[in-house]
Structure 1
Amino acid sequence: MKPRYLILGLIALLGLAPLVLAPYYVTLLNYIGLYALVVLGLVLLTGVGGMTSFGQAAFVGLGAYTTAWLTTAEQLPTWLQWASASPWLTLLVGVALTVTVALMLGALTLRLSGHYLPLGTIAWGLSLYYLFGTLEPLGGHTGVGGLPAISLGGISLDQGEKMFYLIWLVLGAAMLITHNLLDSREGRAIRALKGGQLMAESMGVNTFRSKMVIFVIAALFAAVSGWLYAHTQRFVNPTPFGLGMGIDYLFMALIGGVASIWGALLGAGILTVLKEWLQDWLPHLLGDGGNYETIVFGILIVLLMHCAPGGLTPWLGKWFKGRTRTAPLPQAQALPRRAAVEHGTRILQANQVTKRYGGLVANNQMNLHIDAGEILALIGPNGAGKSTLFNLLSGVDRPTSGDIHFKGLPLNGKTSRHVARLGMSRTFQHVKLLPGMSVLENAALGAHLRGHQGVIAASLNLDRAEEQQLLAEARYQLERVGLGDALQEDAASLALGQQRILEIARALCADPCLLLLDEPAAGLRLQEKQALTALLKRLRAEGMAILLVEHDMDFVMGLVDRVVVMEFGQPIAQGLPEEVQNNPAVLEAYLGGADA
């Protein structure tokens, strides 16, 4: 079955549901919609962004309590009295408050890593939960009742059957916004957060900004769910906003598929229905003397994690896939290119660069320069400090002492993102690609800095013209390196040699004037090496400067203009390839002796 037919069928069923189902089932569907909206934020935050949060229930409470207080308080501050006129106005206040709180909490917790991040979300989640139950204006643990119904087009949505359509319309809009966002330049940056932050920063992505974006979006989805919940129940107390519910939201995401938009809906539906069934049937089977439903539910979750660790959506997806057709990319206007640098112009100058890690000296007073239209090879035995120098030049790491200038500008203290913006692009010794993304999307990430449309434009699908330009640039560079027939393949399915070529295409998408290649020929066959040699020579003829680290001497000596040889973190020889090949110090270091 094709996905679009499944979506149309689901919309039709939802449209008929309140007309044919009993109120109990409509209420159940309302809860599923409200929960799915919160879980959708976790799909972005945890499944896509790789940041586990136990605190989403607290943001639900923030949206619910904001509207509860504004619509029921007997006396409001003068500057807030306008908001009490309508629940729609309280939604605006709730959104503004949620963004403010999310920005503050994000600034405190998103720089944490490992187990400290989820522990941080537990801390502020509990703090907000106890705040809701402590503040007297919010009714304490008794709660706040008497909330007004939402009115839409003159119709009062004072019953669950009437709220049904609003809840599912909001959920549908949120799913569409999430889909649009992930299918964009900003979405590629967000998807790079999980396992590719170092690479993404080197491609010009502000990874902390991307983390903050999805953290705020997830908080907003939760707050809107809380607003809808408050006016559906017409009553609010702290119970649904505690840590236990935050854990349930994560379970919903895991059940459905933590990285899937549809998994949010599937997981919310399965967990909600399963809990209802267990609570109804287990007391009849086992008696009502204990919380057997919690025990059975926990066992089922563990079994599911073993059988379908990616959730149910990927497992079910194979049944609903239609034939995949690769549509040709529409023609797009070429992206503007960087002004060419005149041949022979000094591009990079490193003076007395030293890097120490405690007592270990990885680079010791390294001097290096490269000009436009030149290919320079950096060679040496394993452990000589070549990759460390690459990291220093590209801003991934900072030198202990010494100066680096790129295009006449000092790089000391600059981030890899800033260096990329200046026109330096790189590959990595250990291939850094994003599995699950296509070859085309991986390459397009390199063009991130050449786009300008932001999150709002991406969410509303207003960035399509620029997106086509970025994808057209990625296709051009992939065809240039010989991967034009693999555009829609999963990058992880490529052979190692092809993955290295893909990294070069991604680096070229940034339109650099200096290209750093870390062992580009490793894993390539003879024909692929010959094609790579031809490509690098064309780039040199266009005025690009290329600095490469390589162990394949046949590849290096037939390609480069100059060679710098390193040993123990410092240069021992440099010059023309022929000169370096016959240098006794090089033979001793590289081959184990001049007679070898």
Structure 2
Amino acid sequence: MRLSPLTLGAVALVLIVPLLLPASSFYLSLGNYVAFGALVALGLYLLTGMAGMTSFGQAAFMGLAAYTTALLTSERGFSPWLTLPIGVLVAMAGAVVLGGITARLKGHYLPLSTIAWCMALYIVLGSWTELTGGHTGLRNIPPVSVFGLELSDSRSFFYLSWFFALAGAWTAWNLTNSRIGRAMRASKGDAIAAASFGVNPGALKLRVFVLSAVYAGVAGWLYAHYQQFINPSPFSLEASIKYLIAAVAGGVGSIPGVFLGAGLVTGLEEALKDILPVIFGRTGNYEIIAYGLILVLILMFAPKGLWPFIERYLPQPRPITPKGEGLPTRMAAGQPGEVLLEVSGLTKRFGGLVAVSDMSFQLRRGEILGLIGPNGAGKSTCFNLITSVLVPSEGEVRFKGQTITGKPPYAVHKLGLARTFQHPHLFPEMTVLENAALGTYTRTTAGILTAMLGFARGEEQASLVEAYRALERVGLAHLAHQKADGLTVGQLRLLEIARALASNPEVLLLDEPAAGLRAGEKRQFAALIRKLVNEGVTVLLVDHDMELVMGLVDRLVVMHYGEKLAEGTPKEMQNNKKVIEAYLGEAVA
């Protein structure tokens, strides 16, 4: 991994600045609090910036770890280093309980539950005087020792706190640039699309929620042993709001942004404690009002936070085209003509509306099967039933003899089915290469811990090589490092096909892939599909372009009002009176 000049400069500052200040300097003390806040904000970077979940309970997880280490070290004589994993595990346990109930829910349920959680823990910590000391708190927490040296002053503890902060940034960066990081961003933007290429969005969100509690737990452990005294106040709802404001103000979608936000809010907090009482003429906790006003101003002039605003003026790294070996193929051998996909009696009712009724057909290995019909015939609904996005009212779908009805979409994809959507489901903030690399998710295995520790870089490089090859196959390799939000509609459809190809599927299900393509692009698309079939891919195709469909497919299934109207070769369908009357309008020469 090559370190940027910005990263090297930050590390140099952390190493040199403490040597220039007195050991008990106020600024070193402030630097420690910035490090604690940055760790909590890093958890929010993963939770909010990457996975799209909002939590007001991070200070509560911090408090769980802080009280755990305080109780075990001051009353039980445990070593502080032993209580670090114990405190983090307690924070994780709290996140598992809370996240298991709410992390998979959409909308406001998670923020509301974390508010209630933070308030409840604050009340418990403040009222359980026998265990936690109530609002008086716990004292005599021992300092941390490193090689027999007690870190009892701000300078020595500064190196420890910033070691953890920079290690947290490194692990978060590794996770961001991994299969898990891409999956997190995809789940944030479109959970259905993420499931279509093998991600289990619910399970991933729970793991990220727990991971954010780990960062907060480490911050709580550091806070307790730096202060050597704790009470419930630093772990209140107000503190959680402060951490969230810090992350959002600095730029919750970037690692430098959350560090910038933590420094900004921590510094302002100290300054405002002196300034605001003078302005208002009385003492009080006015900081939260000032935080809100500052956040409003930042979001007005820098909607994504301060760091993205600053970053645009910094030199950008030169993109590198991935090279090397790709991923091992997972294409299964089989007999040409054997039944791969079988749809039997498929029916879907939405209340009194029957969208699909008693649909049955077979898809054989090595063929291109077209599914056509007028608008509203139920073709896309049928696609969603086959890929388990929807659960059928009746009937079943079998893939290679195995019933897949009722399996979640990510489990269906793992079997070797890849799909595109009627309207492209892509992620505009990600590059074209990153979008294509999402398709390699089920072909790779690195978990969260492996990725965070940097042990998945070889697999990640192979994934990017595979994604780049998929882009070459569809003619988008020259746009690999461009953001997807700059693509035309036709290019977006080709990118969605590239993502599907990167998964190395046995069956490719294409939902109106030629919509928006120009005549030349359609010819290239047809040539691409024929090439894929020659390479062993089987295709189920929905499209309205009759010239394309009739010249490309081997067989057709015609739908009308949710039912199968006819099935046969293109020539047979062109001369079928029912098909002509319902759809084609006249025989095609």
Does TM-score exceed 0.5, indicating one fold? Answer: yes
Q: Find the residue that maps to 2:115 and give its secondary structure.
A: helix
Structure 1 runs of 4+ with >6 Å offset: 592-595
Structure 1 residues 285-328: Cα deviation after superposition (integer angstroms, max 9, x where no partner): 55336666544443222121111110011100012224x42323
Moved more, 584-593 or 525-534: 584-593
Task: Find the counterpart in structure 2 of residue 43 from structure 1.
Answer: 45
Structure 1 residues 514-559: Cα deviation after superposition (integer angstroms, max 9, x where no partner): 1100000011111111111011111222332211110111111110
* C-alpha spacing 1:294/1:218, structure 2 compared with 1 (3 Å): closer
State whether structure 2 residue 298 is matched by structure 1 residue 304: yes
Mapped partners of 1:99, 1:284: distance in 2: 42
> Which one of the candidate residues 210, 224, 231 is aligned to 2:225?
231
> Which one of the candidate residues 444, 448, 464 is aligned to 2:441?
448
Shift of 1:333: 4.9
Q: Is the 8 A contact 2:327 2:443 kept in 1?
A: no
Task: Find the counterpart in structure 1 of residue 36 from structure 2.
Answer: 34
> Which one of the candidate residues 381, 389, 399 is aligned to 1:396?
389
> Which one of the candidate residues 510, 517, 527 is aligned to 2:510?
517
Q: Is the 8 A contact 1:167 1:228 kept in 2?
A: yes
Q: Find the residue that maps to 2:354 and give its secondary structure.
A: strand
Shift of 1:593: 8.1
Give the letter aligned to residue 469 of structure 1: A
Shift of 1:591: 5.3
State whether structure 2 residue 57 is matched by structure 1 residue 55: yes
> Which one of the candidate residues 464, 487, 503 is aligned to 2:457?
464
> Which one of the candidate residues 121, 125, 136 is aligned to 1:128?
121
Shift of 1:278: 2.5
Shift of 1:370: 0.9
Shift of 1:512: 1.1
Task: Find the counterpart in structure 2 of residue 24 from structure 1.
Answer: 26
Within 5 Å, which residues of 2 pair with 1:484-563? Answer: 484-563=477-556
Identity score, percent: 50
Shift of 1:592: 6.4
> Which one of the candidate residues 337, 342, 345 is aligned to 1:344?
337
Mapped partners of 1:299, 1:256: distance in 2: 15
Mapped partners of 1:284, 1:175: distance in 2: 38
Shift of 1:427: 0.3
Q: TM-score, normalised by structure 1?
A: 0.95
Mapped partners of 1:544, 1:222: distance in 2: 47
Mapped partners of 1:555, 1:279: distance in 2: 70
Give the count of matched residue pairs. Answer: 584
Task: Find the counterpart in structure 1 of residue 365 from structure 2.
Answer: 372
Structure 1 residues 50-72: Cα deviation after superposition (integer angstroms, max 9, x where no partner): 01000000001011100110012
Shift of 1:470: 1.3
* C-alpha spacing 1:293/1:538, structure 2 compared with 1 (3 Å): closer
Q: Find the residue that maps to 1:11 and give its secondary structure.
A: helix
Give the letter aligned to residue 522 of structure 2: K
Task: Find the counterpart in structure 1 of residue 398 from structure 2.
Answer: 405
Mapped partners of 1:329, 1:392: distance in 2: 37
Structure 1 residues 85-106: Cα deviation after superposition (integer angstroms, max 9, x where no partner): 3100111211222222222221
Mapped partners of 1:453, 1:217: distance in 2: 16
> Which one of the candidate residues 142, 149, 158 is aligned to 1:155?
149
Task: Find the counterpart in structure 1 of residue 249 from structure 2.
Answer: 255
Give the letter aligned to residue 403 of structure 2: P
Give the letter aligned to residue 342 of structure 1: Q
Give the letter aligned to residue 20 of structure 1: L
> Which one of the candidate residues 46, 66, 69 is aligned to 1:67?
69
Structure 1 residues 475-504: Cα deviation after superposition (integer angstroms, max 9, x where no partner): 111111111211111122111101101111
Q: Is the 8 A contact 1:588 1:594 kept in 2?
A: no
Mapped partners of 2:483, 2:346: distance in 1: 39
Within 5 Å, which residues of 2 pair with 1:136-285? Answer: 136-285=130-279
Shift of 1:209: 2.3
Q: Find the residue that maps to 2:187 and give its secondary structure.
A: coil
Mapped partners of 1:490, 1:137: distance in 2: 54
Mapped partners of 1:289, 1:366: distance in 2: 73
Mapped partners of 2:357, 2:411: distance in 1: 25
Q: Find the residue that maps to 1:194 and give its secondary structure.
A: helix
User: For structure 1, which runs of at least 5 residues remain unmatched after alignment?
Assistant: 77-83
Give the letter aligned to residue 267 of structure 1: G
Within 5 Å, which residues of 2 pair with 1:80-99? Answer: 84-99=77-92
Q: TM-score, normalised by structure 2?
A: 0.96
Mapped partners of 1:446, 1:192: distance in 2: 11
Q: Is the 8 A contact 2:332 2:506 kept in 1?
A: no
Mapped partners of 2:19, 2:282: distance in 1: 35
Q: Find the residue that maps to 1:144 and give its secondary structure.
A: coil
Q: Is the 8 A contact 1:37 1:221 kept in 2?
A: yes
Q: Is the 8 A contact 1:477 1:508 kept in 2?
A: yes
Structure 1 residues 145-171: Cα deviation after superposition (integer angstroms, max 9, x where no partner): 011010011110011221111001100
* C-alpha spacing 1:526/1:37, structure 2 compared with 1 (3 Å): same
Structure 1 residues 343-372: Cα deviation after superposition (integer angstroms, max 9, x where no partner): 101011111110011111110001111101
Q: Find the residue that maps to 2:134 and give its secondary structure.
A: coil
Mapped partners of 1:280, 1:403: distance in 2: 69
Mapped partners of 2:48, 2:73: distance in 1: 33
Q: Is the 8 A contact 1:341 1:513 kept in 2?
A: no
Mapped partners of 2:530, 2:584: distance in 1: 28
Give the letter aligned to residue 418 of structure 2: S
* C-alpha spacing 1:515/1:594, structure 2 compared with 1 (3 Å): closer
Q: Find the residue that maps to 1:99 and give its secondary structure.
A: helix
Give the letter aligned to residue 10 of structure 2: L
Mapped partners of 1:289, 1:88: distance in 2: 39
Q: Is the 8 A contact 2:132 2:138 kept in 1?
A: yes
State whether structure 2 residue 570 is matched by structure 1 residue 577: yes
Q: Is the 8 A contact 1:423 1:512 kept in 2?
A: yes
* C-alpha spacing 1:592/1:529, structure 2 compared with 1 (3 Å): closer
Shift of 1:17: 2.4
Q: Find the residue that maps to 1:278 and give its secondary structure.
A: helix
- How well do the aligned residues superpose, as a CA RMSD in angstroms? 1.8
Moved more, 391-400 or 13-22: 13-22
Q: Is the 8 A contact 2:59 2:237 kept in 1?
A: yes
* C-alpha spacing 1:110/1:339, structure 2 compared with 1 (3 Å): same
* C-alpha spacing 1:110/1:594, structure 2 compared with 1 (3 Å): same
Q: Is the 8 A contact 1:335 1:473 kept in 2?
A: no
Mapped partners of 2:54, 2:297: distance in 1: 21
Give the letter aligned to residue 500 of structure 1: R
Structure 1 residues 208-258: Cα deviation after superposition (integer angstroms, max 9, x where no partner): 222122111110110110000001110010011111111111101110011
Task: Find the counterpart in structure 2 of residue 81 from structure 1.
Answer: none
> Which one of the candidate residues 411, 430, 447 is aligned to 1:437?
430
Mapped partners of 1:585, 1:123: distance in 2: 62
Mapped partners of 1:294, 1:137: distance in 2: 30
Mapped partners of 1:269, 1:296: distance in 2: 16
Q: Find the residue that maps to 1:235 and give its secondary structure.
A: coil
Q: Find the residue that maps to 1:141 and give its secondary structure.
A: helix
Q: Find the residue that maps to 1:558 and give its secondary structure.
A: helix
Shift of 1:455: 1.3
Shift of 1:460: 1.0
Mapped partners of 1:282, 1:211: distance in 2: 40
* C-alpha spacing 1:247/1:347, structure 2 compared with 1 (3 Å): same
Give the letter aligned to residue 215 of structure 1: F
User: For structure 2, which runs of at least 5 residues remain unmatched after alignment?
Assistant: none
